[in-house]
């Protein structure tokens, strides 16, 4: 279809909820190719979904093999080989001794968070006026439960949200202690807050929070929807911290772009959730599970985590040099290939000019440029990203 026509239809009839960029035709590795033939280095990564890169031949083969074998794309809740294998692989990937051994599949990040909240509420079913502790600057999704713990007022206004949510200050244990009481059913934390600016949690804080939640028998939930599946250079970000939650929320990079989320809980918590009290039609469908298994095989075989760590080791010092060169940059934050470049002012113009130079980047809030490239991004491509930013900031400074 003519690019002009694509824009015309989407602009006229799409819900209008999204700030779209260029019409994209296809992708390969860390590159996206526009309908107009232009090539872009993709540091948006489908909002962090595309961890193994675009058009991975093993995913193409897995999808084709699956369909050629007449296996069902979606097929109710029968036992299934692909689902069983995925469950086993995920449980095996959980930290030793964590007890994270029960998996609920859904179709998105926000659903994974909804499930976590409901499981925690069931675990604390005897508590009448249930309360949840989230954090300032948190983002957990857009459905009415997840949105209630999301902090940004702009996303929340005009909606009726679940009651009982309190927001503690990030990295501040005293602030959690001040809010935690006998009504608290869970504490939910992103190990790196992504959407509002890429803020990593302090390891001491995470360890102390773990201890507090254990002491009070309050489920601790980690939302690794953005940080999971290699984004920070380890399969899960919790590995950097050596701390396990009672419930873990996953989505984005789990199934090579096929919609899927997962909520993994301890058997103690899942044991309190009576059968049928939560559910989903599409969650855990065999097709998505088969793709997710191949996604994990790619992680196992292709050194993605090593590449993410190698590119990250180049990227952070290179960006730090830009910070020293340009007063417009205030701070560089993040881990692995989850990078936040904090500016002193608004970044919309930087984003636009980067795109003109063939690099697609995200924002996080108004003043942070966020990079979430596929983990297969090469050093050469990462250098081009830094060079493009250098050039953009140079011309904007003039
Ligand atoms: C930390 C975190 N939690 C939850 C979500 C919501 O995921 P989804 O958009 O798949 O519903 C996101 C999405 O960006 C996220 O970054």
pLDDT, mean of residues 79-94 = 97
Mutation to probe ligand 1, out of 47, 110, 262 (largest number of atoms < 8 A from CB): 110
pLDDT tens by residue, 66-79: 999 999 998 878 99
CA of 190 to the centre of ligand 1 (A): 10
Q: Could you tell me the pLDDT band of residue 315, with boundaries at 50, 70 and 90?
A: very high
Angle between helices 379-397 and 304-325 (to 10 degrees): 20
Return the residue whose CA atom lies nearest to atom 3 of ligand 1.
140
CA of 275 to the centre of ligand 1 (A): 26
Return the residue whose CA atom lies nearest to atom 9 of ligand 1.
109
CA of 140 to the centre of ligand 1 (A): 5
What pLDDT is attached to residue 157?
97
Q: Largest Cα–Cα distance in the chain?
A: 64
Query: Pocket residues for ligand 1 (CB within 6 Å)?
Result: 47, 108-110, 113, 139-141, 190, 194-195, 223, 225-226, 251
Kindly state the tokens that stand for 227: 């940080």
Mutation to probe ligand 1, out of 226, 255, 260 (largest number of atoms < 8 A from CB): 226
pTM over 0.95: yes
Mutation to probe ligand 1, out of 251, 368, 372 (largest number of atoms < 8 A from CB): 251
pLDDT over 90 percentage in the chain: 94
CA of 68 to the centre of ligand 1 (A): 33
Kindly state the tokens that stand for 320: 């730090």
CA of 110 to the centre of ligand 1 (A): 6
CA of 274 to the centre of ligand 1 (A): 26
What pLDDT is attached to residue 77?
80
Q: Is the pLDDT of residue 20 over 80?
A: no
- Rounded Cα distance between 288 and 272, Å, is 27
Please give the residue that has the higher pLDDT: either 341 or 73.
341
What pLDDT is attached to residue 398?
85
Mutation to probe ligand 1, out of 45, 51, 134, 139 (largest number of atoms < 8 A from CB): 139
284: CB partners within 8 A, 6+ apart: 77, 80, 83, 104, 105, 106
Distances (CA, A) of 148 to 40, 113, 189, 194, 209: 36, 11, 14, 17, 21
pLDDT over 70 percentage in the chain: 100
Please give the residue that has the higher pLDDT: either 22 or 103.
103
Asked, colleague to colleague, whether 3-55+303-397 and 71-301 share their fold, the answer is: no
CA of 104 to the centre of ligand 1 (A): 17
Nearest ligand 1 atom to the CA of 47 is 14
CA of 165 to the centre of ligand 1 (A): 18
Q: What is the domain partition of the chain in residue ranges?
A: 3-55+303-397, 71-301
Return the residue whose CA atom lies nearest to atom 7 of ligand 1.
109
What pLDDT is attached to residue 19?
80
Return the residue whose CA atom lies nearest to atom 4 of ligand 1.
140
Q: Is the pLDDT of residue 21 over 80?
A: no
- Rounded Cα distance between 116 and 263, Å, is 6
CA of 224 to the centre of ligand 1 (A): 9
Mutation to probe ligand 1, out of 18, 45, 109, 222 (largest number of atoms < 8 A from CB): 109
Q: Is the pLDDT of residue 39 over 90?
A: yes
Q: Could you tell me the pLDDT band of residue 35, with boundaries at 50, 70 and 90?
A: confident
CB 276 within 8 A of CB 284: no
pLDDT tens by residue, 179-219: 999 999 999 999 999 999 999 999 999 999 999 999 999 99
- Rounded Cα distance between 118 and 181, Å, is 19
Q: Could you tell me the pLDDT band of residue 97, with boundaries at 50, 70 and 90?
A: very high
pLDDT tens by residue, 374-386: 999 999 999 999 9
Name the least confident of 2-16, 252-266, 275-289.
Answer: 2-16
Phi, psi values for residue 324, rounded to 5°: -70, -30
- The closest alpha carbon to 151, from 136, 132, 172, 131, belongs to 136
What pLDDT is attached to residue 34?
93
What pLDDT is attached to residue 86?
98
Q: Could you tell me the pLDDT band of residue 291, with boundaries at 50, 70 and 90?
A: very high
CB-count burial class (<10 Å; 0-12, 13-18, 19+) for 48? buried
- Rounded Cα distance between 200 and 205, Å, is 11
| Structural fold of domain 3-55+303-397 | 3.90.1150
CA angle 89, 239, 261 (to 5 degrees): 45
CA of 393 to the centre of ligand 1 (A): 30
What pLDDT is attached to residue 36?
83
Q: Which residues pair with 41 in a beta bridge?
A: 31, 359
Q: Is the pLDDT of residue 1 over 90?
A: no
- Rounded Cα distance between 206 and 274, Å, is 30
Nearest ligand 1 atom to the CA of 141 is 6
| Structural fold of domain 71-301 | 3.40.640
CA of 111 to the centre of ligand 1 (A): 9
CB 135 within 8 A of CB 151: yes
- Rounded Cα distance between 45 and 51, Å, is 7
pLDDT, mean of residues 49-72 = 97
């Amino acid at each position: 279809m003519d690019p002009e026509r694509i824009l015309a239809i989407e602009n006229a009839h799409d819900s209008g909820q999204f700030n779209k960029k260029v019409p994209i035709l296809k992708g390969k590795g860390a590159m996206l190719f526009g309908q107009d033939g232009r090539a872009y280095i993709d540091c948006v990564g489908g909002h962090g979904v595309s961890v193994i890169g675009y058009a991975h031949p093993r995913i193409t083969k897995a999808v084709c093999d699956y369909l050629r074998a007449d296996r069902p794309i979606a097929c109710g809740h029968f036992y299934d080989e692909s689902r069983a294998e995925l469950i086993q692989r995920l449980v095996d990937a959980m930290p030793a001794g964590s007890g994270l051994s029960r998996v609920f599949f859904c179709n998105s990040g926000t659903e994974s968070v909804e499930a976590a909240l409901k499981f925690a509420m069931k675990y604390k079913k005897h508590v009448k006026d249930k309360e949840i502790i989230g954090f300032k600057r948190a983002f957990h999704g857009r459905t009415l439960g997840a949105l209630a713990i999301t902090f940004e007022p702009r996303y929340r206004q005009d909606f009726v949200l679940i009651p009982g949510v309190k927001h503690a200050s990030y990295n501040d244990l005293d602030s959690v202690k001040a809010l935690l009481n006998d009504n608290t059913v869970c504490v939910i934390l992103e190990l790196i807050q992504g959407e509002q600016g890429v803020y990593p949690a302090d390891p001491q804080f995470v360890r102390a929070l773990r201890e507090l939640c254990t002491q009070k028998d309050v489920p601790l939930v980690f939302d690794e929807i953005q940080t999971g599946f290699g984004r920070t250079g380890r399969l899960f970000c919790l590995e950097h911290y050596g701390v396990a939650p009672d419930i873990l929320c996953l989505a984005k990079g789990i199934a090579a772009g096929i919609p899927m989320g997962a909520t993994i809980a301890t058997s103690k918590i899942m044991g309190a959730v009576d059968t049928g009290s939560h559910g989903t039609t599409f969650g855990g469908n065999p097709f998505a599970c088969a793709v997710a298994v191949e996604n994990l095989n790619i992680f196992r075989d292709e050194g993605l985590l090593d590449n993410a760590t190698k590119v990250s080791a180049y990227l952070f010092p290179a960006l730090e040099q830009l910070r020293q060169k340009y007063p417009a940059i205030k701070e560089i934050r993040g881990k692995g290939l989850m990078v936040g470049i904090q500016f002193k002012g608004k970044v919309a113009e930087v984003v636009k000019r980067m795109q003109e130079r063939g690099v697609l980047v995200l924002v996080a809030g108004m003043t942070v440029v966020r990079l979430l490239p596929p983990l297969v991004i090469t050093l050469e491509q990462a250098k081009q990203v830094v060079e493009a930013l250098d050039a953009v900031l140079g011309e904007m400074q003039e």
